[in-house]
A and B are shown apart, each in its own frame.
Chain A
């Protein structure tokens, strides 16, 4: 699965197992232009389909690209619209680092996204962060494209 394709479609379905201790969201979106219908406003599905639930990072980096900032701007606006919603930001890494360093790096990424949302006016009390290091990859093949997808912070509704 290619990142370019992902961006073009706006929404791509991944085979991600769902349970309490994994990244939530069986789907991913980087911000669709058109509103999807049939989802409950303010829900996880709404976030994924109409806002974009994740931002991506460069190798060993935690700075937010303009694309990532645009996604987080939409998330901040969406969170302002649904003030009862609380979210978890889960940081993830590709598998090209050590297990323990990646746990810290994933948290650094989630923290970068959190700080951005807080700066945009989202109350810090509505956001929790967690890191799965390299242990919950979205893309399970090993390739540059997969690694790029796995270096992320994924926002989910708690």
Chain B
């Protein structure tokens, strides 16, 4: 791809990017995952010596296009797979323009890549053998010829995609100055069957749609999976035995437990940032109250008792506040209260109604669904209600969920059905918080209720 063919980033996005990245310092390599060993590689001999792994590319705030990065097919029998996963991650996020195909040997010919307009270059090998996988990876600054990063990973033979996501996260972090999110998963609801009675199954996939598989059968209506921020657990709602309630599933053991003993329907679960409690709604009379349930002691604590519908609670990342949805003022709107309950203050004031609030892991934004004039929108606002921006619209767009670094939202998009339900579709999409780079996660079929995991361990 020639630089002139690269998609441009608008002035609006450029300014948003500048604000987003401006307060972040550029630093070190990405984190490590369980079962993966990472060792630094020494810098190769080169014309312009610099400390290995220390050089950085500075992203200037006037940048108007994604960063062109050369991602050739890596050497070794797993090179093709690793390269394609890295390229997919970086290209799909919209902030990079991968240039594929070239195969450098030894010290790359930087002059050629410079003439292509490339800023960075990936080289390395990915080889399986002896039941394991070894990936050697180097990241280069094309303009200076310096090696920015050099790491050798050893892992299980089946971990090629995982290592590729880890490498994509390292590239993202080294070039953009903040942690990536590619080594993560999305839990969701897989849907099938007629519109009037869809079969719903708990499911999970890598964030790029790979490795999708079911976690539950389709006997009972199952909705709204939510990840623990600190452990391999999902909270979700199931209509098992015709009693709609919140359950917790341990992904490591497969053990599923009812969470909380209530007379009403319990629903809309979210883990607290420390993972020790789950906040949820419980119906009572014509309304619903917000409760927390302690995972260890099962102790319940009631946070609201307005008599109205109080639902969709979500903690701020520091755990001090909860944003929630309530019709206590007459129509569904967004409110913030202290994490102990009390002091509720309305923050949504646009036309129409609001719901499904979710707090960014960065703390600076709340994403939401807004419904006005029969149409749904997905937007973000500051926690004080200011700066509302609509990111995308549609017949139905709902259940936003932030990726681990707060940069991208996944959400459910549904289309209107014609007579008999024909034409109905339900899919999971992603969109950058700037409102750009919207795309559907491919090849998972009818789906809804995405819940982004924290970075994989």
The answer to whether B198 and A135 touch across the interface, beta carbons within 8 angstroms, is: yes
With a CB–CB cut-off of 8 A, which chain B residues contact A140? 194-196, 417, 420-421, 424
Interface size of B by CB at 8 A reads 54
Q: In the docked arrangement, what's the CA distance between A69 and B315, Å? A: 41
- Let me know if A157 is at the binding interface, CB within 8 A: no
Stretch at the interface among A42-50, A79-87, A96-104: A96-104
**Quick one: CB contact mask for B191-232 with A, threshold 8 Å, 1 for yes?**
001111110100000000000000000011101100000000
B196 to chain A: which residues have CB within 8 Å?
Answer: 15-17, 22, 136-138, 140
**CA separation between A6 and B453, bound complex, in Å?**
46
CB closest chain-A residue, reference B395 = A142
- Whether the Cβ atoms of B332 and A141 lie closer than 8 Å is no
Counting chain A residues whose Cβ lies within 8 A of the other chain, the interface size class is 20 to 34
Beta-carbon contact of A130 and B197 below 8 Å:
no
Contacts of B26 in A (CB 8 A): none
A107 adjacent to B356 (CB under 8 Å): no
Residues of B with C-beta under 8 A to A112: 286
Q: Is the CB of A107 within 8 A of B283?
A: yes
Q: Is the CB of A96 within 8 A of B374?
A: yes
**B299 CB within 8 Å of chain A:** no
CB contact between B399 and one of A99, A107, A111 (< 8 Å): that residue: A99
State whether A17 touches B355 (Cβ < 8 A): no
Q: Mark B251-285, 1 if CB is under 8 A from A, else 0.
A: 00000000000001101100000000000010101
Q: How far is the CB of A148 from chain B (nearest CB, A)?
A: 14
Min CB gap B196→A, angstroms: 5
Contact call B420/A141, Cβ cutoff below 8 A: yes
From B417, which residue of chain A is reached at the shortest CB distance? A142
Q: Are B398 and A96 in contact (CB under 8 A)?
A: no
Is B224 within 8 A of A111, CB to CB?
no
Interface centre among A100, A130, A137 (most CB of B within 10 A): A100
Chain B nearest CB from A69 CB (Å) reads: 17
Question: Are B195 and A108 in contact, CB atoms less than 8 angstroms apart?
Answer: no
- Assembled-state Cα–Cα distance A15/B244 (Å): 24
Q: Is B288 an interface residue (CB 8 A)?
A: yes
- On whether the beta carbons of A96 and B371 are closer than 8 Å, the reply is yes
Q: Quick one: given A135-B198, A141-B421, are A101 and B311 in contact (CB under 8 Å)?
A: yes
Contacts of A108 in B (CB 8 A): 286-287, 309
Q: B219 — nearest CB in chain A belongs to which residue?
A: A21
A21 touching B449 by the CB < 8 A rule? Answer: no
Q: Is B331 on the interface with A (CB-CB < 8 A)? A: yes
Query: Measured between alpha carbons, how far is A15 from B355 in the docked complex, in Å?
Result: 31
Contact between B311 and A100 (Cβ–Cβ < 8 Å)? yes
Q: How far is the CA of A105 from the CA of B267 in the complex (A)?
A: 12
A136 neighbours in B (Cβ, 8 Å) = 196-197, 221
Q: Give the CA-CA distance A21 to B312 in the complex, in Å.
A: 23
Residues of the A chain whose Cβ atoms lie less than 8 Å from the Cβ of B356: 98-101
B349 lies within 8 A of chain A by Cβ:
no
B83 at the interface (CB under 8 A from A): no
Q: Contacts A21-B239, A104-B283, A137-B196 given: A99-B325 contact, CB under 8 Å?
A: no
Shortest distance from the beta carbon of B315 to any chain A beta carbon, whole Å: 16
With the chains together, A85 CA to B264 CA distance in Å? 22
Q: B393 at interface (Cβ–Cβ under 8 A)?
A: no
Q: Which residue on A lies nearest to B269, using beta carbons?
A: A100
Smallest Cβ-Cβ distance to B396: which chain A residue = A95
Cα distance A20–B220 when bound, in Å?
8
Given contacts A101-B311, A140-B420, is CB(A132)–CB(B371) below 8 Å? no
Decide if B416 is an interface residue (CB 8 Å cutoff): yes
- Minimal Cβ-Cβ distance residue in B for A109: B286
Question: Contacts A22-B197, A101-B311, A101-B332: A141 and B419 contacting too (C-beta < 8 A)?
Answer: yes
Contacts of A135 in B (CB 8 A): 198, 200, 221, 223
A74 CB to closest chain B CB, in angstroms? 23
Contact of B418 with A by CB under 8 A: yes
- B242 is an interface residue with CB less than 8 A from chain A: yes
Whether, in the assembled complex, B154 has its beta carbon less than 8 Å from a beta carbon of chain A, the answer is no
> Is A137 a contact partner of B195 (Cβ separation < 8 A)?
yes
Residues of A within 8 A of B353 (CB): 60, 97
Instruction: Say if the beta carbon of B427 comes within 8 Å of chain A.
Output: no
Give Cα A43–Cα B449 distance, bound, in whole angstroms.
37
Q: Mark B323-360, 1 if CB is under 8 A from A, else 0.
A: 00101000110000000000000000000010110000
Contacts of B288 in A (CB 8 A): 104, 107
Which chain B residues border A155 with CB–CB below 8 Å? none
Give B411 Cβ to nearest chain A Cβ, in Å: 11
Is B321 part of the binding interface, using a Cβ–Cβ cutoff of 8 Å?
no
Contacts of A97 in B (CB 8 A): 332, 353, 355, 371
Produce 1/0 per residue, A5-21, CB < 8 A to B. 00000000001110111
Residues of A near any B CB (own CB < 8 A): 15-17, 19-22, 60, 62, 95-101, 103-105, 107-108, 111-112, 130-133, 135-138, 140-142
Which 6 A-B residue pairs are closest in the complex by CB-CB distance? A140-B421, A98-B355, A17-B197, A140-B195, A142-B416, A104-B309
B residues near A (Cβ < 8 Å) are 193-198, 200, 219-221, 223-224, 237, 239, 242, 244, 264-265, 267-268, 281, 283, 285-288, 309, 311-312, 325, 327, 331-332, 353, 355-356, 369, 371, 374, 395-396, 398-399, 414, 416-422, 424, 448-449
Beyond A98-B355, A111-B286, A141-B418, list 14 extra A-B contacts (CB 8 Å).
A16-B196, A17-B193, A17-B194, A17-B196, A96-B371, A99-B223, A99-B399, A100-B224, A100-B325, A101-B332, A107-B286, A130-B265, A140-B194, A140-B421
